[in-house]
Amino acid sequence: MKLNMNRREFLAAFGTIAASAVLAGCGGKASTSSDAASGADASASSDDKSASATKKLIVGFDSAYPPYGYVGDDGSYTGFDLELAQEVGKRCDWDVQLEPIDWDAKDTLMNSGAINCIWNGFTIEGREDDYTFSEPYMLNAQVVVVKKGSGISDLAGLAGKAVITQTDSAAYDVLAGEDAAQADVAATFASLETIGDYNTAFMQLETGAVDAVACDLSIAAYQLAAKPDAYEQLSEQLSSEHYAVGFKKGDEASATQVTDTLKAMDKDGFVKDLCDKYADQGMDYANWCLA
C-alpha cells in the first residue's frame, strides 16, 4: 500500500486517534472521549451489531492466509491473528465467532452485520476512509517471490514476466496504480494476474504457470519457511505498510477495546510468546509495533 512516512511518523499520526479508556471487562477505566461516548450511545441501539454492544466478536478472515488465518492440520481454523482475536475475546468477556469469508465480499458482510470486524493481516494504508481501525499492531511490506534459479534478481528482471497476486490485496493496489513508481514497474510485466488465495498463487509459481508472486512479507516468509529450496524473495520491496483490526466505520468503541487489550497482551508477554509459536512460519516479534 502507499507509504510516504516512516514508522515513527505513522504511529505519531495514529496517536491522534484518541486512545479512549478500556471499557468494562478490558481494564475498568471510565471513557472520557466524545468518540467513546458516541460509541456508547450507539451501543444502546437495538440495531448495533458491534462487538462492544453485543459482546460478540464476529471475525471475518481469509482461511487461506497463513500464518494469520488458515486451516490447521486438525481441520480447525488457526493462525496468529485468530489466536490474538480469541485471547482478546477471552479478556473482554466477548464470545468469538470465526467466519471464513470470500475476501471480495468483506464489505458487504461487514455492512450487513454478518461480521463485525476484519482481522486477518488487514492493511490500513489506502483503507483509512472505509473502516474504523484499531491502532496498528504489525509492520509489514509488499515483496516479490520467484522460483530459485529463475535468474530474476530484482524488480527490473520482472520485465516480460507473468506476475500474480491475490484479488483486492495490498500488493495489487500498489502495482495497479496506487504507487506511481511501482505501477511503472508493473507496466513492464507481460501480465499482472489475480487469484482468490495465495496458496494457489504459489502452486502456480511452483508449476511454472507464472514467474513471480507479489505478496505480503509475512506470506513470503511463510512460504519460504515451508519450501526454502523452492523459492527466493527479491531484496527490493514494493512498499511497506501496517496491519490493524478493521471495524465498521464509526465503531470507535470496539476498536478502542481491542487496541487497549492488545497493549495489555503485549505488556504481559502473551504477544511475544505467540510470535515465538509462529516463528517457524515467518512471524517475528520485532515487527510488532503496538506499545
pLDDT tens for 154-182 read 999 999 999 999 998 989 999 998 778 89
Please give the mean pLDDT across all residues of the chain: 86
pLDDT tens for 44-95 read 345 799 999 999 999 999 999 999 999 999 999 999 999 999 999 999 999 9
Instruction: Write b or e for each residue in 106-135: b if 16 or more Cβ atoms lie within 10 A of its Cβ, otherwise e.
Output: beebbeeeebbbbbbbbbbbbbeeebbbbb
Helices (H) and strands (E) in the chain, counts: 11, 14
Can you tell me the distance from the alpha carbon of 68 to that of 70, in angstroms, rounded to the nearest whole number? 7
In CATH, what class is 141-240?
alpha beta
> Residue 46: its pLDDT value, please?
52
> Residue 218: its pLDDT value, please?
85
Domain 7-137+244-287 has CATH 3.40.190.10: yes
Q: Return the SS3 of 84.
A: helix
CB burial of residue 260 (10 Å; 0-12, 13-18, 19+) = buried
> Residue 29: its pLDDT value, please?
32
CB–CB of 237/185 below 8 Å? Answer: no
Can you tell me the distance from the alpha carbon of 121 to that of 63, in angstroms, rounded to the nearest whole number? 12
> Residue 128: its pLDDT value, please?
94
> Residue 179: its pLDDT value, please?
78
Q: Where are the domains of the chain?
A: 7-137+244-287, 141-240
> Residue 171: its pLDDT value, please?
93
Tell me whether domains 7-137+244-287 and 141-240 share a fold.
Answer: yes
| Start-end of H helices in 64-197 | 80-92, 106-112, 170-173, 180-186
CB–CB of 212/153 below 8 Å? Answer: no
Instruction: DSSP for 180-247, please give it.
Output: HHHHHHHTTSSEEEEES-HHHHHHHHHHTSSSEEEEEHHHHHHHHHH-TTTEEE-SS-SEEEEE--EE
Whether residue 6 is predicted with pLDDT greater than 90 in this model: the reply is no
Question: Cell numbers 527490493 label which residue?
Answer: 236
> Residue 47: its pLDDT value, please?
76
Q: Is the dihedral of CA 106, 193, 140, 271 positive or negative?
A: positive
Strand partners, 63: none
Whether residue 13 is predicted with pLDDT greater than 90 in this model: the reply is no
Whether residue 9 is predicted with pLDDT greater than 90 in this model: the reply is no
